[in-house]
Amino acid sequence: MATQQGSAVPAGHEEYYVPESSGMAISATIGLLLSIYGAASVLNDMTFGEPGAETNSWTIFICGLFWFVATLFMWFRTAIRENRAGMNSAQLKKSYVLGMFWFIFSEVMFFFVFFSVLFYVRVLVGPWLAGEGEAGAMNHLLWPGFEFDWPTMQTPQEAVGGAAGQPIANHGEFFSPHTSMAFGEVEHWWHWLPMWNTVILLSSSVTVHIAHLGLLENNRGKLNLWLGITVALASVFLALQVLEYHEAYTLYGLTLNSGIYGSTFFMLTGFHGFHVAMGMTMLLVQWLRSIRGGHFTADDHFGFEASSWYWHFVDVVWVMLFLFVYIF
Amino acid sequence: MGEHHHGPAKGLKRWIFATNHKDIGTMYLWFSFAMFLLGGAFAMIIRAELFQPGLQLVEPGFFNQMTTMHGLIMVFGAIMPSFVGLANWMIPMMIGAPDMALPRMNNLSFWILPPTFLLLASTLFMEGGAPAFGWTFYAPLSTTYAPPSVTFFIFAVHLLGLSSIMGSINIVATVWNLRAPGMTWMKMPLFVWTWFITAYLLIAVMPVLAGAVTMMLMDIHFGTSFFSAAGGGDPVLFQHVFWFFGHPEVYIIILPAFGVVSQIIPTFARKPLFGYDSMVYATASIAFLSFIVWAHHMYTVGMPIAGELFFMYATLLIAVPTGVKVFNWITTMWRGAMTFETPMLFCIGFVVLFTLGGFTGVMLSMAPSDFQYHDSYFVVAHFHYVMVAGAVFSMTGAVYYWLPKWCGRMYSEPMGKIHFWISFVGFNLAFFPQHFVGLAGMPRRIPDYASQFADFNMLSSVGAFIYGGSQILFLYNVISTIVAGKPVSDDKVWEGAEGLEWTVATPAPFHTFAVPPRVK
Amino acid sequence: MCFKAKRLHRLALGPVLSLLGLTSRLAWSDDTKVNQINMPVSVTEVGASIYNLHMTIFWICVVIGVLVFGVMFYSIFAHRKSRGVTPSNFHESTTVEIAWTVVPFLILLVMAVPATTTLINVYDTTDADMDILITGYQWKWKYEYLDEAGENLTFFSNLSTSQEEIYNREAKGEHYLLEVDEPVVVPVNSKVRLLITANDVIHSWWVPELAVKRDAIPGFINETWFRAEREGIYRGQCAELCGRDHGFMPIVVNVVSQQKYTDWLSDKQAEAAEIKALMAQTFTLDDLVKRGKDVYARDCQLCHGANGEGGIGKAIAGSSIATGPVATHLDVGIYGVSGTSMQSFGKQLNDVDMAAVITYQRNAFGNNMGDMVQPLDVFNHKQGQ
Ligand code: HEA
Ligand code: HEA
Ligand code: CUA
Ligand SMILES: [Cu+2]
């Protein structure tokens, strides 16, 4: 690996590390491309080879995904090794910090969209469809009988007697749930999973912080213990989330087809769940690095820090979810 | 640990494995030019079909695919990557950095693009054809009523977003972190400033676009009802999300162009840029305002009147900071000692034509009049004035301006001037008459039109062919410069040029500023 | 030859007109619409104020442009190196910078006033004399005259330009692409409220001379209005990309005197009553085929070909559906084939026409089935579903 040989470097500005050319990006591209090509083909039921047979594009998708994940693994391994070999200047480390920070910001914007969608349909669209304000004609000509409340327990389509009776063509069929996820709808409070999930996720933010303190105190045992607990909490959260989805589908009739309530519910919680899984993987990697490789020192532990920021971010999103999806 | 080599690798490996900002910049630039030709070729098909009333060349369905692919490829494949390429080349050199902050990620941002556009273009050959719902892909035409290829389109957009976000994070980190000592914020060249702010726009809105296409995907394949009233959703919701991305997007396209113009005009006026500080603040204000005006694309969807008024007033405000920029450029010229080399010609062309496009923008922003303009060729004229005569002209100027620094050879000035004048005439011939037909009532995105619009459309097509043809001259000029141009001896190249990029050797060596320079 | 010369002449005229005539108010007769370069002057009050707003902003921009470019071109002329000037070095002046921030702001403030009042007027849909519900379909418009008694008058309005003209096999008519089989008819000087919606994708109902453009959004209803102050025929087009034939769904509004309107209305109502009477009737095969032939030419031929040979749609000649069980054939005609451009015609055709066209398809193009469908069969089929 090449570092620049310079003289007379001004204070505060070190020699800059310019990595050697690298094949990782092109490899990642190949993986990404294969996986999206495969995914799109799966969704379109496309088959290679004999037409008409069940889609075999899964193979492409899974190979691509595997390739991509493997590349990412190599990539991060390289970055970690470079750092441990002392090749990263303070300036490069700061670039990594900036990169992670603004990456999280872009994630914030991603969730911002779905929350905005939620507010838009709840505050504006629903009442319009129900004929509020100037929209009287809309309701009595198109959706007679539709009344809006949130969570919507009856879609406009159902209000007019199902897909056959609706005034517009070909937009699919939407069946409302019989029970919503809101507090009070579900039989007993201790059976209300979102509350447990909130407790779990909030405490996991605390545990990851304790782990960080352990790291700063050079207390490896404390770090490993609390980080391990965090990962465990994360997996419990995910398990409960899966359970919740299962109940939604089997007990409450709440599905992706449940009109806008189901759509926003699964979109928000689903993407959140996906981010929890990513955050958990990141924390797990840091945990393994710590116990297996003894990585991290009190003043150099960006991998850990980045993962914990991410974790706090995921946590904040959950709090918003809890408030606006489950409670209000 | 290999040898301490600093030169480029040999052959294909140099490009595929590139981590050098100049190599990556070069690839971006060539890639975007290729996309410009492809998007341009689609535009030529559009103009050829519209040459006369009646259907002669293509079927209506295919025409819609052409319109869609033209818009998508020009915006995401030609303009945006071209400015990213410019950023890669110039930002490190302008702020005295050795490279971009995260070079390997830089390579990934680039290499995602070519296969993604290949995938996008390949939808043309898929069953049911390519996306045919316009570059704005309004639901439900792009969901329930879309061809199957829309799934590929959706994933392609996800990847484009990924590439843009990584590219922008890189720029943000570079500008924050890699400025040479003494290069304070308010000393940064304006091109760096405009890109810095653009990068933030990108980081903020590309995820929004990702959200929009994700909801489409869900509606198409998983039975959700975001954009369907029957389930309690709303097709207009799609438009809100799209334009929350889409309007900042148009400033993503133009802000770097503003930066370029702010570099070139002072050079050829031989006078410092007038009102540097206000340029910076104006750029920031435009960026801020761009987040609160999106619904001016949706005046006719039937928003409540309070919404219409809010978006109308907010949109009007954008004319103020943009005006500040125009006035600053003109005052920079004032009492300078101007010469009119090709880059300067393109910048003057930019100022005139962009301002005209800005004026039509102000007309469009008037909600009641927009009821007449909306989705007519008047809008098409507006945005080609700001995007072609704006972004493309400034990009062309930038290439002429920095090409000698990049390859150490001078382009042919007479040929450059001819290119400018043909472009200028062809462009106006192509797009000025579109104002007329638009006002007279010709809708956009139609393959055939009423006889009363025939003459102006013919004129417009002729102009488009002229403008398109002139790009071949440009290509020829650039290639012959690289291959056989007259070597440039002076590091500074232009008499009036200022800035760090002109202090390094010509052609710029593979690595510049391995040791940070000191800025006084 | 003559045609060509005229075109060239007009081409030359265009730019000249553009210099002289931006405010031209001569856009009345159909003939001067050729090469028209400005917004048509509307026949509504709102339209007139929109037009004025448009021209006001236009002239403000022209003035600003002349000033700004004037300064610039003077500078380009005077401050060029070839004239031997030395560059000065100034690069700041707080005074002018404040001035050119504040002055445009004030100009914009001035612009906002007429815009606001006009907008408020456009949005005032109260006190209408009549309501028309407009529904956009791929690719035609449905008009429903809402009637208090519930006796709504309903019809579809299709492009009537022939494929021959579109594919340049025949000379193009005067109103090429801007003509329909059934125009909307409204009385002059009445406030007409439009309730606009769509069946499938988003369309947009645009008639420039009435100064109305409003999107038709599936599942939602948008309201707008106009009051035409002059009799005449006003033409427009769909203004939102809505799929393949977006360019082929024109709008024609016939503004007539109150008297003519009433006559038209009662004609239409009589027609509707007649259809109603026919519904109960039993037809002979010949009658059905005869009627069906017309319906076919109007509604099916575009996709299925004049001889049932197919095209966009599948061939009817020898089709297994048109020669198979009647019920399946009715299903396709009434409900369409989802996911294809074979849409559901059940609401677009009345039962008589549906019976006729199905019978026709079963007995034409060599499909000699010899059976037939009566209006009552169609009615029953619809009920059964
Ligand atoms: C580079 C891209 C770019 C830029 C910079 C702009 C700039 C502006 N645009 Fe444009 N616009 C587009 C790209 C762009 N636009 C595109 C692509 C579309 C169509 C999308 C689609 O539907 O496909 C569109 C559509 C569009 C619409 C929607 C039209 C419709 O569909 O009905 C509107 C409406 O308000 C609008 C307004 C404006 C305004 C007010 C500006 C302002 O920023 C302009 C400001 C500049 C000036 C005003 C000139 C200089 C100023 C002075 C000299 C000062 C003095 C002036 C005054 C006081 C007036 N644009
Ligand atoms: C920055 C973006 C950008 C750029 C640079 C351009 C460049 C051009 N655009 Fe386009 N355009 C859009 C962005 C852009 N456009 C968008 C966003 C839309 C809206 C899409 C939608 O409605 O969804 C649009 C829509 C649009 C339309 C309306 C289509 C419709 O509504 O149906 C038209 C019609 O004239 C048009 C024409 C052109 C022309 C002639 C050029 C020319 O400038 C192109 C010149 C370049 C070349 C021609 C290539 C170089 C030369 C060759 C390849 C050699 C071959 C040359 C010849 C045979 C002469 N564009
Ligand atoms: Cu209907 Cu366009
Ligand atoms: Cu905009």
- Domain annotation for chain B: domains and CATH numbers: 23-502 (1.20.210.10)
* Residue C6 reports pLDDT greater than 70: no
* Residue B211 reports pLDDT greater than 70: yes
Angle between helices A259-293 and A220-247 (to 10 degrees): 160
* Residues A35, A253: Cα–Cα separation, whole Å: 32
* Residue C26 reports pLDDT greater than 50: no
Average confidence score pLDDT of chain B: 93
Residue B433 host element (H or E): helix B413-440
Amino acid in the structure at residue B282: A
Structure tokens at B494: 């232009």
Residue A268 makes CB contacts below 8 A (sequence gap 6+) with: A111, A114, A115, A118, A321, A325
In this structure, the number of other CB atoms found within 10 A of the CB of residue A165 comes to 11
Average confidence score pLDDT of chain C: 86
Instruction: Work out whether strand C130-137 and strand C250-256 pair parallel, antiparallel, or are unpaired.
Output: unpaired
pLDDT score recorded for residue A11: 43
* Residues A96, A18: Cα–Cα separation, whole Å: 14
CB-CB contact of C135 with C184 (8 Å): no
Ligand 2 pocket test, candidate residues B72, B74, B76, B243, most atoms within 8 A of CB = B74
Which is higher by pLDDT, C141 or A251?
A: C141
* Residue C3 reports pLDDT greater than 60: no
Q: What tens digit of pLDDT does each residue of C113-164 get?
A: 999 999 999 999 888 899 999 999 988 999 999 887 767 888 889 898 988 8
Q: What tens digit of pLDDT does each residue of B369-380 get?
A: 999 999 999 999
Q: B147 in contact with C at a CB cutoff of 8 Å?
A: no
B388 Cα: distance to centroid of ligand 2 (angstroms): 9
Question: B368 vs C50: CB contact, 8 Å cut-off?
Answer: yes
A170: chain C residues, CB-CB within 8 Å: 200, 338-339
CA of B60, nearest ligand number = 2
* Residue A83 reports pLDDT greater than 60: yes
pLDDT score recorded for residue A225: 94
How would residue A6 be classed by pLDDT, with cut points 50, 70 and 90?
Answer: very low
Q: What tens digit of pLDDT does each residue of B244-290 get?
A: 999 999 999 999 999 999 999 999 999 999 999 999 999 999 999 99
pLDDT score recorded for residue B183: 92
* Residues B347, B353: Cα–Cα separation, whole Å: 10
**Which residue from C204, C118, C222, C219 is spatially nearest to B302, judged by alpha carbons?**
C222
- Domain annotation for chain C: domains and CATH numbers: 37-79+93-124 (1.10.287.90), 130-276 (2.60.40.420), 279-382 (1.10.760.10)
Q: What tens digit of pLDDT does each residue of B404-424 get?
A: 999 999 999 999 999 999 999
Q: B15 in contact with A at a CB cutoff of 8 Å?
A: no
- Residue C103, SS3 per DSSP: helix
B292 Cα: distance to centroid of ligand 4 (angstroms): 10
Q: What tens digit of pLDDT does each residue of B126-157 get?
A: 888 899 999 999 989 999 889 999 999 999 99
* Residue A1 reports pLDDT greater than 90: no
Q: What tens digit of pLDDT does each residue of B72-127 get?
A: 999 999 999 999 999 999 999 999 998 899 989 999 999 999 999 999 999 999 88
Considering only alpha carbons, which residue of chain A is nearest residue B199?
A: A102
Q: What tens digit of pLDDT does each residue of B474-517 get?
A: 999 999 999 989 999 888 889 889 899 999 988 888 888 888 88
CB-CB contact of C50 with C42 (8 Å): yes
Instruction: Work out whether strand C184-187 and strand C250-256 pair parallel, antiparallel, or are unpaired.
Output: parallel
In this structure, the number of other CB atoms found within 10 A of the CB of residue C35 comes to 21
pLDDT score recorded for residue B357: 96
Structure tokens at B180: 């040479």
* Residues C198, B516: Cα–Cα separation, whole Å: 63
Q: What tens digit of pLDDT does each residue of A100-152 get?
A: 999 999 999 999 999 999 999 999 999 999 888 777 777 888 888 888 888 88
Considering only alpha carbons, which residue of chain B is nearest residue A164?
A: B230
CB-CB contact of A231 with A283 (8 Å): yes
Q: Which residues surround ligand 4, an ion (CB under 5 A)?
A: B 247
- Residue C215, SS3 per DSSP: strand
Q: How far apart are the first and last CA of chain A?
A: 56
Provide the annotated active-site residues of B. Answer: 70, 99, 135, 163-164, 247, 249, 251, 262, 296-297, 322, 325, 444
Q: What tens digit of pLDDT does each residue of C305-360 get?
A: 888 888 778 899 888 898 888 888 998 898 887 666 787 788 788 888 999 999 99
- By Cβ distance, the residue of C57, C71, C72 closest to B363 is C57
How would residue C385 be classed by pLDDT, with cut points 50, 70 and 90?
Answer: low
How would residue A3 be classed by pLDDT, with cut points 50, 70 and 90?
Answer: very low
* Residues B61, B76: Cα–Cα separation, whole Å: 22
Structure tokens at A240: 């409960």
pLDDT score recorded for residue A80: 87
Q: What tens digit of pLDDT does each residue of C100-116 get?
A: 999 999 999 999 999 99
Q: What tens digit of pLDDT does each residue of C189-244 get?
A: 999 999 999 998 999 999 999 999 999 999 999 999 999 999 999 999 999 999 99
Rounded to two decimals, the pTM is 0.92
Considering only alpha carbons, which residue of chain A is nearest residue C131?
A: A137
* Residue C28 reports pLDDT greater than 50: no
* Residue A15 reports pLDDT greater than 60: no
* Residues B120, B72: Cα–Cα separation, whole Å: 9
The rounded Cα C112 to chain-centroid distance in angstroms is 30
∠ CA B86-B88-B92, rounded to 5°: 115
Q: What tens digit of pLDDT does each residue of C346-362 get?
A: 878 888 899 999 999 99
pLDDT score recorded for residue B380: 97
Q: What tens digit of pLDDT does each residue of B418-465 get?
A: 999 999 999 999 999 999 999 999 999 999 999 999 999 999 999 999
* Residue A97 reports pLDDT greater than 70: yes
How would residue B203 be classed by pLDDT, with cut points 50, 70 and 90?
Answer: very high
* Residue A46 reports pLDDT greater than 80: no
CB-CB contact of C112 with B317 (8 Å): no
pLDDT score recorded for residue B426: 96
Angle between helices B393-407 and B21-49 (to 10 degrees): 150
How would residue C24 be classed by pLDDT, with cut points 50, 70 and 90?
Answer: very low
C215 Cα: distance to centroid of ligand 3 (angstroms): 10
Residue B118 makes CB contacts below 8 A (sequence gap 6+) with: none
Averaged pLDDT, A58-84: 90
Q: How far apart are the first and last CA of chain B?
A: 37
Residue B310 CA: distances (Å) to CA of B321, C120, C229: 18, 13, 31
Question: C91 vs B313: CB contact, 8 Å cut-off?
Answer: no
pLDDT score recorded for residue C331: 87
